[in-house]
Structure 1
Amino acid sequence: MSAMADAGSHIAAVVATSTCAHCQREIPSSNIDLHSVHCARNLQKCEHCGEMVPRKLMEEHYNENHAPVNCSLCKETLRPEILDLHKSEQCTQRMVACAYCEYELPAIDIHEHQDVCGNRTEFCQTCKKYIRLREWIGHEMQCHVSSNGSEESSSARTFPEREVRPPLPVRPARAVPAAQHRRLLFTVAVTGIAVMVGSILFQKESF
């Protein structure tokens, strides 16, 4: 029994550990004092990531992992850990494909482009109408259902074709006879002369 107790106490002594107050690591209790002095003197905890870094390498660690960086597209200053997310989803200068023509433009311009591009029309072969691209998906589904229904109904009955009427003839403008035209000009001239003479006489009477 005494031999087993001695073995158990020996194993407990081997695995016994203590937590370093500086780096929070579990250190064998037999080495904790020496480790604590060395750790506090040579290592520093990074305030950004919590990693224990040699004091002499802290500036290098910060520059490589935590120093602000500029986006190569929009030049905005960001933390390096969010740079990839910014470039893929947030940057206003990232290239985005138009939902209608698949042409790529900067994200800042894509909404204005799609407002115009979505108003373009394409010819629907089913209903023989021009449909706006922004309405194409909904129209295609509705038109497909309607075309299936029309095919079923057309097998049961036929509709008369709409009568196509020729356009009405355009009546030519009525020509004015030359004699009547000269008479009209003479009347206008006489009226103008009479107005001028009356104006002159009126001015003389006023003096």
Structure 2
Amino acid sequence: MSETKVCQCCLEEVLATNYLLHSLYCERNITKCNICDQRIDINEQDAHMETHQKTECIYCSKQFEKRLIEMHKNNCPNKPEKCGFCDLMINMAEMPRHQANCGSRTEQCQICKKHIQKREFNLHISICRKDQQQSQKRNRLKRITSEPTSEQSSNDSSVQEIKQITKRKPQKQNKQRSKQKEDISKKYNDDDDEDFQKALQMSLNQK
């Protein structure tokens, strides 16, 4: 393994065989920043010193170096942010107290008509909407499975009347039920709702 030495100008490790030439170059071209002690090339000294110049934060008016100002602005306590409950612009330092009060206010759900706290409103809406969709599916399924088929419509006035026919032979009744299931399945075969299709098949299998 080749021997190395640390250059006292740039503090980098260099091969011992190249150390003399490297150190001579560094002595002429590398300097140390008096503010941050960083080793910099003489040709880049002016650009480096500009990073140490201070500029004012637009939110709190405090002075920060250019290399630090952006990081400060992103976390400045006086930086305004939009409240998620009322859309008002509030300083970051005051946001927790504001949201505690703002989130406790209530808003009426247009689905169930209950008054819900704003901090829980989005969660409530998602659950309430899902419950409404499930209820609509159940009502739709109940309506579909109660509809008379085309064959039954021509012979009977309603599905209830068909169910009340007890004098027919079991074989004929089974055929009629199979026909009813087949007609309903064909009628709603194109429905893309997977939950609805499963529920429909379960309902038909129970008949």
TM-score (norm 2): 0.48
If asked which structure has higher relative contact order (CA below 8 Å, sep 6+), I would say 2
Larger radius of gyration: 1
